[in-house]
């Protein structure tokens, strides 16, 4: 249960926040603030995804069983990056 929380639920916060900001009306935050907030969330998400991918690769080389959990985290964290590219 602890691994599900750390590797699935906590990284899933980033896509939820990204899509919440992206789906807000322009009148709520303004166009520039909304775009910069989405860019910031995407940038943080890509850094976290790179870190998780490095941890997955390092664990895979050492034969660690938790490498798949890190890979799942990196996949979840790339969702805002892909969505930002598609929406931009």
pLDDT at residue number 64: 86
pTM value is: 0.89
pLDDT at residue number 47: 97
User: Phi and psi (nearest 5°) for 63?
Assistant: 80, 25
Running along the chain, 88 residues long, what does each successive block of 10 average in pLDDT?
Answer: 90 95 90 93 96 95 90 96 92
pLDDT at residue number 48: 96
pLDDT at residue number 81: 95
């Amino acid at each position: 249960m602890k691994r599900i929380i750390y590797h699935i639920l906590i990284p899933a916060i980033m896509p939820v926040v990204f899509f919440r900001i992206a789906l807000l009306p322009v009148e709520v935050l303004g166009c520039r603030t909304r775009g910069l907030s989405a860019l910031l969330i995407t940038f943080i998400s890509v850094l976290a995804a790179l870190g998780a991918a490095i941890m997955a690769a390092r664990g895979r080389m050492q034969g660690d069983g938790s490498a798949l959990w890190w890979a799942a985290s990196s996949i979840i964290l790339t969702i805002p990056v892909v969505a930002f590219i598609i929406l931009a």
